[in-house]
Structure 1
């Protein structure tokens, strides 16, 4: 299945206006979130993994005790694509703001 093309910097900036919990640019989207406990953070990773598998698009996840640091980028396209925006929206539905 063909992958969506890389978005322009302006398109990413416009998309970030609708994703207030995320920062970044055309090179990648970033979000950090602190969960109540280590177990909650691990459970969040499992929930994100389920969505990532469903979309066949996988984030970079860094777990530091109870804080998740997430990075979304379509490596194959060299930047942010619509898949990254979709995954960001799905992650926002799973995690507290």
Structure 2
């Protein structure tokens, strides 16, 4: 399946305005999930892995105690694509902001 093309800087800026928990730019975006426990963080990695498998698009994940850092980029496109944004949206739906 062909990968979507790299997004323009303007498209990335517009998308990030709708993804306030993510930071970055045309070269990739990231978000850190903060979970209540180590076990919850490990489970979050598994949940994100399931989404990644569904999309056939896999983020870099770094687990540190109760935090999971996610970094997303489409390496084959040399930057951010719609596939990265879809993964970010799905992660946000599963892990909304905590008040």
TM-score range, shorter chain: over 0.9
What are structure 2's unaligned runs of at least 5 residues?
A: none
C-alpha distance in 1 between matches for 2:24 and 2:65: 23
Moved over 3 A (4+): none
Normalising by structure 2, report the TM-score.
0.95
Measure how far apart 1:27 and its partner are: 0.4
**Number of residue pairs aligned between Structure 1 and Structure 2:** 97
1: CA distance, partners of 2:79 / 2:13: 13
Measured in 2, the distance between the counterparts of 1:15 and 1:96 equals 17
Shift of 1:93: 1.0
Cα distance in structure 1, aligned partners of 2:90 and 2:58: 12
- Whether 1:81 aligns to 2:68 is no
Q: Is the 8 A contact 1:44 1:94 kept in 2?
A: no
Aligned equivalent of 1:20: 20
- Return 5+ residue gaps in structure 1 as ranges: none
What TM-score do the two structures reach when normalised by structure 1?
0.97
The root-mean-square deviation of aligned C-alpha atoms, in Å, is: 0.7
* Post-superposition offset of 1:68: 0.7
Q: Indicate the residue corresponding to 1:64 in structure 2.
A: 64
